[in-house]
Amino acid sequence: MKTNDDTSLSLAIPIETVFIPVAATFAEQAARGLGLDQRAATAMRLATEEVTAFLCRIGAQRRRVTIECSAGSYFVEEKITMPIDRLQLRAFNLAARLDFENEADLDQMGLLIASRMTDRFWMSRSENGHLVLSLVKEFSYPEIDTDTDIQVPGGIERWTVSTPDSARIKWFARLVNHCYPPDLFPAEFRFPGKLADMANGGDCQVLTALGPAGEMAGGMAWRWIGSRTVELFGPYCFAAGGAPELARNLLEICINNVARTPALAMICRRPTAELPDGYLEPLTAPRLPYDDTDRAAPPATGPARFRLLYEETGAVVWAHQALHDFLGETYRRLYIPRDIQTADPDDGESRDPFSVLSCTIDRRLRSGVLRPIWPGEDSRANLAAHLDLLRDEQIRTISLEMDLGHAWQAIFVPGLLELGFTPTMILPHAGHGDLLIFELEAS
């Protein structure tokens, strides 16, 4: 049974070999209690076992590790707080290749296994400076069957916009999949049950427009990215006729709802053709012409859009010197005040030898998104290894999201530019600071 009632379970144990089974069993039983099925809970057990065993091997004994498990609307998260300042986690790279004849690489083997057991991970520091490794495993949901016939409503001239229940959220997801190409909605829409759980748990909001007989005319969704920005999806209009008025009605209600929250900005990276003019401003230049012979990557209808809900008071961002011109010009165009500080990766500061990147692949669109997790001297080589892997997997479009609120991420910039990435878009307040999007058209 899934639970989303703020339940949190924690365990603190000494880092000693004898306690490794205790940590592993705790992770498995907590995951089961929080809603994961047995297979996913076993994966969390193996990941926890390998991480704690690694801590024992690197000599962190006689210290204490804290393991905390909690449930979100569609996932279980495990946080492992480690009483150490540095930790080589290069095995968490999707492109990691280990030499089994090398003793140091053998030590990393357990981490390689742990990284493959979970759906997402990231690193952070606690208030006392300890490293925190977060592991996320999602609940299992059936994917929508796009071959199933679905009835699309006819012309609807009158409708009522409201917050739908779970059944109508899943109906909405099925209609979006049926009526729109896959680059105009997020991957979560392919799993109706997941979208319903996300909406019921507050991880996203959905509006639907119902006709006089209860037929679904259209809808819209949004979710938080960062603490001050909301990302919009839609508007989606299913019924023939009345689409401009329906889209305007959906968008206005959405804006009114978001305006009552702490959100400062709204963005729409996947605007549909029905998105009315005059409500959101262009965030990027139009995309390159689309080759309609490539059915794996349907065309976007226009550039990303955004809207500031309140006047910006300014913020500090950190960036490599090579990005200052692009950032300055873009911020001026968007009327967003920013104090751009230089983050110099060549200032002689000591850093770890190995960097870590997370990689999210969407095979339906043949796209991959990289995100810096940890800085290291091998940042360019690590980027190149991930590009090789993604190209081998026939990934067509590759992007990287850089958080300008973290100065350390600037170490990746020289390698990105050398490898052909181009900065294309800024998402205000979408991370710890603004997110800068780099894109690369893979050959």
Can you give the CATH number for the domain in which 35 is found? 3.30.565.10
- How far does CA 70 lie from the centroid of its chain? 19
What is the signed CA dihedral for 258, 263, 264, 266, rounded to 10 degrees?
A: -50
- What amino acid occupies position 104? A
As to burial, measured by CB atoms within 10 angstroms (0-12 exposed, 13-18 middle, 19+ buried), residue 9 is: middle
Using DSSP, state whether 319 is helix, strand or coil. Answer: strand
pLDDT category of residue 438 using cuts at 50, 70 and 90: very high
- Strand arrangement of the beta sheet that strand 229-237 belongs to: 160-162, 205-210, 216-225, 229-237, 265-268, 305-308, 281-282
The whole-chain average pLDDT of the chain stands at 87
pLDDT reading at 71 higher than 60: yes
Predicted pLDDT of residue 297: 41
Domain of residue 32 covers 1-140
pLDDT reading at 122 higher than 90: no
Q: What percentage of the chain exceeds 70 in pLDDT?
A: 89
Predicted pLDDT of residue 59: 67
Are residues 326 and 355 in contact, defined by beta-carbon separation less than 8 angstroms? no
pLDDT category of residue 35 using cuts at 50, 70 and 90: very high
- Check whether residue 3 and residue 117 sit in a common domain: yes
- Specify if 352 maps to a domain: yes
Question: What tokens appear for 177 in the block?
Answer: 């999949």
- Check whether residue 75 and residue 129 sit in a common domain: yes
Query: Considering only 165-169, 184-188, 268-272, 438-442, which range has the smallest mean pLDDT?
Result: 438-442
- Specify if 225 maps to a domain: yes
In this predicted model, what pLDDT tens digit does every residue of 188-197 receive, in sequence order? 999 999 999 9
Are residues 219 and 185 in contact, defined by beta-carbon separation less than 8 angstroms? no
CA distance 396 to 376: 27
CA distance 412 to 347: 14
- Check whether residue 4 and residue 96 sit in a common domain: yes
- HSE (CB half, 13 Å, CA atoms) of 145? 4
Query: Considering only 118-127, 264-273, 358-367, which range has the smallest mean pLDDT?
Result: 118-127
Q: What percentage of the chain exceeds 90 in pLDDT?
A: 65
- Check whether residue 164 and residue 232 sit in a common domain: yes
- Check whether residue 213 and residue 244 sit in a common domain: yes
Q: The CATH number of the domain where 405 resides is what?
A: 3.40.630.30
Are residues 169 and 206 in contact, defined by beta-carbon separation less than 8 angstroms? yes
CA distance 368 to 401: 11
Which helix (H) or strand (E) is 78 found in, with range?
strand 75-82
Q: How many helices (H) and strands (E) does the chain have?
A: 9, 19
Average of per-residue pLDDT across 15-26: 94
Phi, psi at residue 325, to the nearest 5°? Answer: -65, -45
In this predicted model, what pLDDT tens digit does every residue of 72-121 receive, in sequence order? 999 999 999 987 766 677 777 888 776 656 666 666 677 777 878 899 88
